[in-house]
Amino acid sequence: MISSRVSRRALAAVLLALLPCLWAAAQDAIPALIDLSGTWAEIQVCSELETLPIVGRLTGTSTTLLRVVMEQTGNSLVIRETYCSTKIDTGTVIASTAIPDAFLRSLGETARPASLDLSGTAVRFVQPWYTEVRGAHLLDPENDPLPTSPDDPRVFDQDGDGKPGLTVRLRVMGIVSGEAYVVQRVRYRMTGTVVSPDRIDGLIEWTNEQITIGATNRLFEANTSGEPNPDAQKSYFVLQRIDPSVTCTKIVKSWRSLFAR
């Protein structure tokens, strides 16, 4: 007859020996069930408190649509984005800002890392801080000050329209219109939840530093000051899986139905 205490000790020893293997198998199995590789449409909505010349303090919103290709290896992701459109609601009918297609095309495809966090009950999508400098070449993109003059040798004509930096179109009171030439440093990170293998919802933390280095009208030469809306829920993103044949044009036409909650 074998003592039950001995049997329990033997069982415990076997389980302890197998524990590393069981844990590794469990970790390998979870990512296999969540394969995010493929093509996605993305919407980024950023809410900003800003001060505009003449108009004053406003709450503005930028809505950006992107086409995304995601590559997954285990818990690691590589996200390749192409900008499709950006619409800016300044919060008033008095002033409007338009982002030309040449501006968006000049941004090209950007690649950034992200990962899946499996430590909780939900699968979390985590994209660390990403910095993008537009209209200027900086040796230290994170810390170098942005140029303040079109004559700064770091400034270049990114959108290829013959003007320094990047061109945005402005209109005030439906009467005065023109262009401003800007350089930008955009920083953002995103954290969200994998709602399903076809959808990710989350929030964006961001900053946008912009310097106006020229304009067609002196009214547009002033640098506007802005800051992210302190209500974090106002700046968010949604990623929705799409067929690889879907183009930016289709995303722009059908974005409301694509991202319906």
Q: In the chain, what percentage of residues exceed pLDDT 70?
A: 84
Higher pLDDT: 26 or 254? It is 254
Question: With bands split at pLDDT 50, 70 and 90, how would you rate the model's confidence at 93?
Answer: confident
Neighbours of 215 (CB within 10 A): 19
Q: Name which residue leads in pLDDT, 11 or 83.
A: 83
Kindly report the CA angle at 186 between 185 and 188, in degrees rounded to 5?
A: 150
Distances in whole angstroms, Cα of residue 213 to Cα of each of 6, 137, 156, 232: 81, 15, 11, 31
Angle at 39 between CA 38 and CA 45, to 5 degrees: 130
Sign of CA dihedral 240, 242, 244, 247: negative
> pLDDT, tens digit, for every residue of 160-200?
999 999 999 998 877 889 999 999 999 999 999 999 999 99
User: Could you tell me the maximum CA-CA distance found in the chain, to the nearest angstrom?
Assistant: 99
Residue 34, pLDDT score: 87
pLDDT tens-digit series, residues 229-240: 999 999 999 999
User: What is residue 54's predicted lDDT score, i.e. its pLDDT?
Assistant: 62
Reply yes or no on whether the pLDDT at 7 is more than 60. no
**If you ran DSSP here, which 8-state letter would residue 224 be given?**
P
Calpha distance 59→50 (Å, rounded): 6
Q: Which two tokens stand for residue 154?
A: 């770091």
Split at pLDDT 50, 70, 90, the class of 84 is very high
Worst-scoring range by mean pLDDT, 42-46, 58-62, 142-146, 155-159? 58-62
pLDDT (mean) for 77-82: 97
**Terminal Cα-to-Cα distance of the chain (whole angstroms):** 64
| pLDDT score recorded for residue 107 | 95
Overall average pLDDT of the 124-142 stretch:
97
218/190: higher pLDDT? 190
Instruction: Find all residues with CB under 8 Å of 235, minimum gap 6, and list them.
Output: 45, 46, 47, 203, 204, 205, 206, 228, 229
pLDDT at 106 over 50: yes
pLDDT of residue 91: 87
Statement: residue 10 has pLDDT above 90: no
Q: pLDDT class for 109, splitting at 50, 70, 90?
A: very high
What is the spatial distance between Cα 152 and Cα 253, in angstroms, rounded to a whole number? 40
Q: Is the pLDDT of residue 1 over 60?
A: no
Mean pLDDT of the chain: 87
